Structure 1
Amino acid sequence: MEDIYLDYPEWQDTADTVHLFLQMAGKVKVERSPKRSQWAHVRLYLVPDGLTTGLIPGDSSPFSILFNFREHQVEFMNGDGKKVNIPLEDGVSVAAFYGQFVSALEQIGSPTLINVHPQEFYDPLEFDKDDKHHSYDKVAIRKWLENMLFAYGAMARYLTAFRCKVHYPAYYFGTMDLTCIVFSGEPAPFGKKDPVMEKAFDERLYECGFWPGDISFPQAAFFAMPYPFIETIRGNESLLQPDKALFKPEKKEFFLTLKDALSYPDPEQKVAEFFKSGFDIFQKIKRWENIDNIL
């Protein structure tokens, strides 16, 4: 599986451009979808060809937006059968794409006003003014899609042990990660005034997933993050698996890079073991009250 290896610096320009494209679709869901806890209403979903919004309530009929990374186009379709496609091409700026995106929504009968300011992005230019980001490397995009499909398989394998409420892997447009979540059912308010975080963290949970890296951590990696957050694993280092995994106290997260995961004979199994070991360590430090009932 070495041919799918891809770190952020290798495709940064494309990653940033597509990240911003996908934010537009996520923001449409923010405006139109019924609100759910943990921002579940704004997630995008992985399919064999790319990422889709799933059904979104529309003006005259529901619609969906599919980023097809095999055909390299964005496909808009409503419940009346109206279709509009936008090609994904190198050289098309975020501003130019935004104009096409807005037009496509109008053509399928559901024009939507969105916040044009990027979320959780290090270089936040408003969509309609961003001529800086305009890269689309088809080879890198296909590798990223394969990364996510591989990650989905590992997360699905890990989640089979749980009987409790879980969120199956989905894409979060703010941080560009494919993430699943296991919930304890116990309330745990965030405790600080933050419009994003206090909705994301309101009960005890264990979040794990994959993201392609960023300017602060350039390696594509699998991660696991307990909430309430932990700052130390208190001598439980030997429980963390596989041997190349690590805990970063400054980020309060467990990490296993994609490169290290692919170095094992059965990468998917090792990633699933990584998620499980982080959860087991978390339970030794802050055990859930009803853990025996959810496994």
Structure 2
Amino acid sequence: MATLHLPPTDIWLPFPIAAWQDTYKTLHLWTQIVGKIRLALAPKINHWWHSTLYVTPCGLTTSTIPYRTGNFQITFNFILHQLLIETSDGTTKMIELAPRSVADFYQAVFNTLKEIGIEVRIWTMPQEVVTPIPFEQDEEHASYDWEYAQRFWQILVQAERILTQFRSGYAGKCSPVHFFWGSFDLAVTRFSGQRAPEHPGGVPNMADWVTREAYSHEVSSCGFWFGDGSAEALFYAYAYPEPEGFKDYLIQPQSAFYSLDMKEFILPYETVRQANDPDAMALVFLQSTYEAAANAAQWDRTALEYNPVVKS
């Protein structure tokens, strides 16, 4: 099995979309299968935070999912290229990550869960994709490039590190840094504490009431998006509801811009990767776009922001 070994200094890796778009499409659907298992079994948490995945030192995990009197978790290990299912009674099962159809992966996961006594049902229609095929019928998407699957995770590690640092400067309600398997992005969201107007919905293959729960309160949200199989990866930032003056706010760096199509600020990943100081560029983008949202919407920044105490 191939593994990717890279120089320790080369942390912001090249990520051309043409090289991994087929793997992206398959992996997007695999993560939806695993994510929907957590969604089905975990207690509901506001804004669908009980459905997300989390970056680990080896990949992506559901984290702990309660089940009857115990718990379990499912982890994508992109170093060993395995899907691990671990339970609190000491059981560990492994499914190889390799070129295989979505239908085959779906069957393997549910057969393994049944074998260890975990019963769960999910809605098998993919979400937030234009032409969905039920998981159990999808023989079309079957690509898995070991190198780019691992590279996907290594970029997640960098994005999660930056977003976690940014998250630390907020005392108000704030989401974890978590991976949404529907939109296939890593996100962190700050809240003003105020209710928001009802969201109009309209997300492909997602019920409007789902979106309305996600955006029930005012937010300034940012993250890292891997594209949709045809668009390049990027950092993004948006506000809901978008306050007057937000899109015209002077943000940093100069290479960032507001997309009228996406209705959010964008900083291309390739721009960050080639910067003299990628960390600093990404952080100034996140901070300045948050300030655009908070200032334009007149948030109480004095009450909401936080400077961590550092002992001398």
Partner Cα distance (2:92, 2:263) in 1? 44
CA distance 1:244–1:200, change in 2 (3 Å):
same
Matched, 1:96 2:96: no
User: Shift of the alpha carbon at 1:211?
Assistant: 1.3
Partner Cα distance (1:130, 1:112) in 2? 20
Q: Aligned residue for 2:304?
A: 294
8 Å contact from structure 2 (residues 170, 304) kept in 1: yes
Partner Cα distance (2:84, 2:248) in 1? 50
CA distance 1:112–1:181, change in 2 (3 Å):
same
Partner Cα distance (1:219, 1:259) in 2? 8
User: Shift of the alpha carbon at 1:249?
Assistant: 2.2
User: Shift of the alpha carbon at 1:128?
Assistant: 0.5
Matched, 1:210 2:224: yes
With structure 2 as the length reference, what TM-score do the two structures score? 0.88
8 Å contact from structure 2 (residues 189, 221) kept in 1: yes
Partner Cα distance (1:68, 1:29) in 2? 17
Q: Which moved more, 1:27-36 or 1:67-76?
A: 27-36
Stretches of structure 2 that go unaligned for 5 or more consecutive residues are 1-9, 202-207, 306-312
8 Å contact from structure 2 (residues 193, 217) kept in 1: yes
Partner Cα distance (1:88, 1:107) in 2? 19
Partner Cα distance (1:190, 1:10) in 2? 40
User: Shift of the alpha carbon at 1:188?
Assistant: 1.1
Q: Aligned residue for 1:43?
A: 52
State how 1:164-183 maps to structure 2 within 5 Å: 164-183=172-191
CA distance 1:195–1:269, change in 2 (3 Å):
same
CA distance 1:235–1:211, change in 2 (3 Å):
closer
Q: CA RMSD in A?
A: 1.7
8 Å contact from structure 2 (residues 76, 83) kept in 1: yes
Residue-by-residue CA offset, 1:201-244 (whole Å, 9 max, x unaligned): 0111111110111146x1100001111125864643xx311121
8 Å contact from structure 1 (residues 232, 249) kept in 2: no
- Quote the sequence identity (%): 32
Residue-by-residue CA offset, 1:137-170 (whole Å, 9 max, x unaligned): 0111111111111101111221222111211311
SS in 1 for 2:140: coil
Matched, 1:130 2:144: no
Q: Aligned residue for 1:279?
A: 290
8 Å contact from structure 1 (residues 51, 66) kept in 2: yes
Partner Cα distance (2:31, 2:154) in 1? 17
Q: Aligned residue for 2:267?
A: 256
8 Å contact from structure 1 (residues 77, 108) kept in 2: no
With structure 1 as the length reference, what TM-score do the two structures score? 0.93
1:52 to 52, 57, 61: 61
8 Å contact from structure 1 (residues 209, 222) kept in 2: yes
Q: Aligned residue for 1:224?
A: 237
Q: Aligned residue for 1:149?
A: 157
CA distance 1:26–1:276, change in 2 (3 Å):
same
SS in 1 for 2:177: strand
- Name segments (4+ residues, structure 1) moved above 3 Å: 230-235
Matched, 1:195 2:189: no
Stretches of structure 1 that go unaligned for 5 or more consecutive residues are none
SS in 1 for 2:265: strand
Partner Cα distance (2:58, 2:11) in 1? 21
Counterpart residue type for residue 225 of structure 1: Y
Partner Cα distance (2:12, 2:258) in 1? 27
SS in 2 for 1:186: strand
8 Å contact from structure 1 (residues 230, 252) kept in 2: no
CA distance 1:3–1:179, change in 2 (3 Å):
closer
Counterpart residue type for residue 291 of structure 2: D
Q: Aligned residue for 2:3?
A: none
Q: Aligned residue for 1:139?
A: 147
Q: Aligned residue for 1:83?
A: 92
Partner Cα distance (2:197, 2:12) in 1? 43
SS in 2 for 1:62: strand
Q: Aligned residue for 1:160?
A: 168
1:267 to 272, 278, 295: 278
User: How many pairs are equivalent?
Assistant: 290
SS in 2 for 1:118: coil
Partner Cα distance (1:129, 1:42) in 2? 23
